[in-house]
A and B are shown apart, each in its own frame.
Chain A
Amino acid sequence: MDIAQIPDVVAELTAMIPWKIIIPVMILELILLTVAIVDLVKRTETNGPKWLWLIIILGFNLVGPVVYFIIGRRPH
């Protein structure tokens, strides 16, 4: 493939992605992620080291924040 063609291919692929369908899903996942991280940062103490929770929340889509909410938050 010619290097000059790459932008065209990228544009073609982007046009194929059904944004109307995908964007709501992305927004919901983003909210979940943001809420989890804001909570993690504000919290003085968590169950287990904070940096580990950060990796879990960022590394595991959907599952990470949920696991954090269930077992990571330590009640004040």
Chain B
Amino acid sequence: MQWWTIFQKELLENWRSLKWVWVPIVFILLAIMDPITSYYTPVLLEQFGDLPEGAEINIPTPTPEQAFMSSISQYNLMGLLLILIMTMGLISGERKSGVTELILVKPVRYTNYITAKWASTLLLVLTSSFLGLLASWYYINILFGDLPFSHAMTGFLFHSVWYVLVITISVFLNTLFRVPGLVGFLSVTSVIVLSSINGIFKSQFEWLPPQIHLYIQTFLNSGTLPTDMWITTVLTILLSAILLMLSVFIFKKKELAS
């Protein structure tokens, strides 16, 4: 099958460019840094803080749920930035350097080309984020107390839905523009705009994609999945699907024109 061949080629390329080495490591470090520092900050302050005699430090120890949420927030900030910078040349860079032409002189279907690239990136990012949250869960159990494994994994799954959208936005912009820097800038901007819109309208429309983080938090604290979470998830997946189809459509048009 053609799709599978291109997908494997992409995986091999990600391996050769060492992405399968450094992306998982960086995601693990991102996920565990926050729980570890928030656990040791009070200890360090007490020992080396040079505080005046009798000063009381009152930093409440986060609950396991809060600590896990801090890993997810880290993903939502640094992880997001990393993904967008990493994927900004995914297609645009290849078009600029002429690799796309080399591939597309063969009878490769545009749909296969785009979706295989999308899927290989998704696999890399989701595997890395899974390993990171697994490590975070492990540390939280040692440092802060019991956090059910199923809760951590549910958090991972719903957070992945958001990452799917983020990667799709990047792929979409990659088909629109040829300059990787511009793609990176616009993808970061669009995610910020999306989050701001959500911030403004969340009381009127509570199912915008960034809202999913609030629901993950609610879930971790209560243990039940709110209905709104499912609606948000379905909407996010739908939006990603539309963007992916648009990407293929735009890419086809642009490649045929050039």
Q: Does B86 contact A (CB under 8 A)?
A: yes
Size of interface on B: residues with Cβ below 8 Å to A: 22
Q: List 7 A-B contacts (CB under 8 A).
A: A21-B139, A21-B142, A31-B21, A35-B21, A62-B26, A62-B29, A70-B86
Question: Which one of B26, B142, B143 lies within 8 Å of A66 (CB-CB)?
Answer: B26
Instruction: Return the chain B residue nearest A38 by Cβ.
Output: B18
Q: Encode contact with B along A22-34: 1 for CB under 8 Å, 0 otherwise.
A: 0011001101100
Residue interface mask B120-147, A partner, CB < 8 A = 1: 0000000000000001000100110000
B230 on the A face (CB < 8 A): no
Interface residues of B (CB under 8 A from A): 17-19, 21-22, 25-26, 28-29, 32-33, 36, 40, 47, 82, 85-86, 97, 135, 139, 142-143
Total A-B Cβ pairs within 8 A: 41
Q: Which residues of A contact B (CB under 8 A)?
A: 16, 18, 21, 24-25, 28-29, 31-32, 35-36, 39, 62, 65-66, 69-70, 73, 75
B85 touches A70 (CB 8 A): yes
Say whether B32 contacts A25, CB under 8 Å.
yes
For A73, the chain B residues whose CB sits under 8 A away are 17-18
How far is it, in angstroms, between the C-alpha of A62 and the C-alpha of B85 when the chains are bound?
16
Please determine whether A32 and B26 come into contact, CB atoms closer than 8 angstroms. Answer: yes
* A69-B22 CB under 8 A given contacts A21-B36, A25-B36, A29-B29: yes
Leading 10 A-B pairs by shortest Cβ distance: A69-B22, A32-B25, A28-B25, A35-B21, A28-B29, A66-B26, A70-B85, A32-B22, A28-B28, A31-B25
- B138 (CB) vs chain A CBs: closest residue: A24
Cα of A60 to Cα of B36 in the assembled complex, Å: 20
| Given A25-B32, A62-B29; A39-B18 close (CB under 8 Å) | yes
Give the residue of A21, A62, A69, A75 whose beta carbon is less than 8 angstroms from that of B97: A75
Min distance, Cβ B233 to any Cβ of chain A, angstroms: 30
Docked complex Cα distance between A32 and B25 (Å): 7
Give B33's nearest chain A residue, CB to CB: A25
Residues of the A chain whose Cβ atoms lie less than 8 Å from the Cβ of B28: 28
Chain B neighbourhood of A39, CB < 8 A: 18
Chain A contacts of B17 at CB under 8 A?
69, 73, 75
Question: Chain A's nearest CB lies how many Å from the CB of B201?
Answer: 34
Residues of B within 8 A of A62 (CB): 26, 29
A70 to B93, CA, bound (A): 13
Chain B residues lying within 8 Å of A36, measured Cβ to Cβ, are 22
CA–CA, A25 to B28, complex, Å?
Answer: 9
A6–B107 Cα gap in the complex (Å)? 73
Q: Knowing A21-B142, A73-B17, say if A65 contacts B22 (CB, 8 Å).
A: yes
- With A66-B26, A70-B86, A73-B17 given, is the CB distance from A16 to B142 under 8 Å? no
